[in-house]
Amino acid sequence: MTDDLVVAFDSAYFGGRLSADARSLLAALADAEDDAIALADRAFRLMRMAGIDAKDVAAYTAWLIGFSVPRTVPSAWHGSVPPLTLASRHARLDEYVAGNSWHQPEAGVFLDLGCGFPPMTTIGTARSLPGWQVIGADPAFGQYLVYDEDGRYALFDPEKRLRFVQSGNTDPDPEATRERFSRLLTDLLDGREGSGARLVAEPSREFECDNLTLVREGMGEIEIPGGVDVIRCMNVLMYYDQTFRLRTLEWAAGLLRPGGLLICGSNWAHSTCSRYTVYQRRGGSLVAREFAFGVDNVRPIELAPWYALHDDNVENRANAHAVGILRRDPRFRRHFDDRLDVELADLGVCARGADGYLGGAGDRSADDLAVIAAELAERLDEFVEDAVTVLQRNGYEAWRNSAAHVAMTPFMPPPLPNSRVR
């Protein structure tokens, strides 16, 4: 059954030309829930929309789809949204806020909506924008933080329900890990210590400082007297459909000050794989000012640009459409792909083999790969201006924004084609 599914994916989206390694790694979808298989199908449709060739699907990317996807979809979290957060994830967006031409208040108020825990992105913003008052908000802020003897952590809500485990998307036995942390919480609350584990109650209080406040609230719950200048809502709306997004825009318009900005979309570690829309409040409603994406999305080894839980996600579709324009330009594609192959070989990850296919990541850890992806993105930044030129030549208004991303006047991307398999 699963072999048939992988063959169907390969045939439908890549003409039956995926590498044997990629097909083997995709077979790990064998025991996946329906939402994981649907996400894999959606990822392949986005790749096809973006013009990704079978030989450019790295074995590492196939592993992410086969192994990591089943551990990150909502079914793996019992339908909840995991408060996953990564240090420096929004560093380039902090640069954007500091340097954008749309809105520059003298002493701004910044709301990081759905900031996750630990609130690393919010802490980074408070440091990057010291003149701003920064508020981090997430309904998933836990009541209890449990560290095990190795320093890994789990977050529990006030009812002692597990919300997040640090290694949840790479753990070979996540259920056993959840049970282990639940036992640790019980032991620590009952005063049984000695294993090296420790408990922190109300952990969010530890992170607050003069210009940083944290609140356990979500969309539609937050009331901030006087409003805010910027709302950043990254890696949140991806979990919801277009109807929810429209309600969010309406709510945000009521909270923003005149001229204020809403930045919403998705990205990955160290601001890689970015794609986002910037809205501005004008006359009581929101106007889309720009869609932007990182040039590393043109041929990524990471899964993030293709990670989509809904067909109608605006940023995923816009990103795939824009990348498709760039990859259809023979000169740009040749220069970009040749340079990327050189950089991958130099970094020792996903190097192209003698058979012409991109390889795997070896025994690199997730943290190492995140650093490598950030280094790779920086090395490719010189292609931003070339990408802008190609988009302009194709009739789009485009420019390099203050985050060093490719920016475009917002457009309505074409719908994601229907599945060819399911």
Q: What are the chain's domains?
A: 1-77+296-408 (no CATH), 90-141+205-266 (3.40.50.150), 144-201 (no CATH)
pLDDT at position 304 over 80: yes
Mean per-residue pLDDT of the chain: 93
Residue 48 banded pLDDT, cuts 50, 70, 90: very high
Residue 361 banded pLDDT, cuts 50, 70, 90: very high
8 A C-beta contact, residue 42 and residue 308? yes
Cα gap 83→250, rounded to integer Å: 24
8 A C-beta contact, residue 29 and residue 37? yes
Long-range contacts of 27-33 (CB under 8 A, 24+ apart): 27/2, 27/3, 27/66, 28/63, 28/66, 28/67, 28/70, 29/2, 29/5, 29/65, 29/66, 29/69, 29/70, 30/2, 31/70, 32/69, 32/70, 33/70, 33/73, 33/75, 33/76
pTM: 0.92
pLDDT for position 90? 96
- The pair of structure tokens assigned to 98 is 């500091």
Cα gap 12→388, rounded to integer Å: 31
- The pair of structure tokens assigned to 323 is 């990348």
Which segment of 23-27, 271-275, 363-367, 374-378 scores lowest on mean pLDDT?
363-367
Angle (CA) 185-159-221 rounded to 5° is 130
At 382, the amino acid letter reads E
Closest CA to 276 of 228, 239, 319: 319
Residue 390 banded pLDDT, cuts 50, 70, 90: very high
